[in-house]
Amino acid sequence: MTTTHPSRKKAFVSSIPLWIRTDQPRQQGMDYWKGPHSKIISATPGFEEYRQIHLAEHNAGMWPATPGIETTIPGDRRIDGLAEVTFRSVLSPLLGRKQTKLAYQDEINVFRRTLLYAGPPSSARWYDVAEPGQQVGARALVYLRRRDGVRTRDFRRHVNELASTLAGTGALRELRTQVFMPWNEKLWNTPNVAHDNPVDQRFHASLILGFADPAARTAFFEGPELAALSDALAPYASAAHAYAVTDALTYVKDGRVLPHYQR
């Protein structure tokens, strides 16, 4: 019997890669993001969900080596974390402009660079891959860069096909995908923080993969099935940067700010 894994399209999702300031201990910055900064963001109206994805300090890249695909993460562009925001509707960002302005002002206290990637309405998909009661014990964040000359719709179609195949492997306990609109600095041009994003460094899609534990994550990235999928990805993508996630903290869920013990 074939098990299907339906996806739930989300109305509007934005993801913000973040780089912690280097003039202070990295853990100090991560703690500030997790504490004071999270309180500002969590108070923003219109959220369905707000998560912080904390990445390991040392991430060389877990994606299998593949001819034609950059899988080693450049040290000078290595991301420290990701703010993942899911809105209740496409109009929800308008509700949070006052609180977002406070977030703009606070960024300088913790970040040196921030970027905003957003997808068209309903372009983000969450797949129901976990069985009841299964927990996620390890995650990976994957960024994909579209190959020059590949049309956006062809790239999007292949990402969706890749996700459907991944959902059917039985290896995952979480799968979220997002295909981005063209990056535009004006969408998140916060003061006193860098937003440099050269054309050859931009990304066009992301995957969040959840596993039972770190051993299952390692086995997945080192296994033959992903290697074959990566070979099929090469005509569409020029880079696949896979980061090990250390924490995925949920601050808002189903439109409600969660108490500390539920995060």
User: Which pLDDT score is estimated for 100?
Assistant: 86
The predicted-structure confidence for 112-127, as pLDDT tens digits, reads as follows 999 999 998 888 999 9
Please check the confidence at residue 227 and state whether its pLDDT lies above 90.
yes
List C-alpha distances in Å: 139 to 19, 154, 184, 207, 248.
19, 27, 28, 10, 8
Residue 3's pLDDT is 56
The CA distance from 87 to 34, in Å, is 20
Asked if the model's pLDDT at residue 261 lies above 70, the reply is no
As a whole number, mean pLDDT of residues 59-70 equals 98
Contact 65, 242 (CB under 8 A): no
3-state secondary structure of 121: coil
Q: Which distant-in-sequence residues (6+ apart) come within 8 Å of 204 by Cβ?
A: 144, 145, 146, 152, 155, 179, 180
Q: Using one digit for the tens of pLDDT, what is the confidence trace for 89-118?
A: 888 888 888 898 899 999 999 999 999 999
Look at residue 2 in the predicted model and tell me its pLDDT.
45
Is the pLDDT reported for residue 73 higher than 70? yes
Q: Quote the pLDDT of residue 204.
A: 98
pLDDT at 140: 98
3-class DSSP assignment, residue 209: strand
Domain-wise residue ranges, the chain: 7-262
Q: What is the mean pLDDT of the chain?
A: 94
Q: What is the per-residue pLDDT for 152?
A: 95
Pairing type for strands 81-87 and 138-146 reads: unpaired
Report the pLDDT averaged over residues 151-164.
97
pTM beyond 0.85: yes
Report d(CA 123, CA 112) in Å as an integer. 29
Distance CA 30, CA 32 (A): 5
- At 182 the pLDDT is 95
Q: Examine the pLDDT at 263 and tell me if it is beyond 80.
A: no
CATH topology of domain 7-262: Alpha-Beta Plaits (3.30.70)
Residue 142 has pLDDT above 50, yes or no: yes
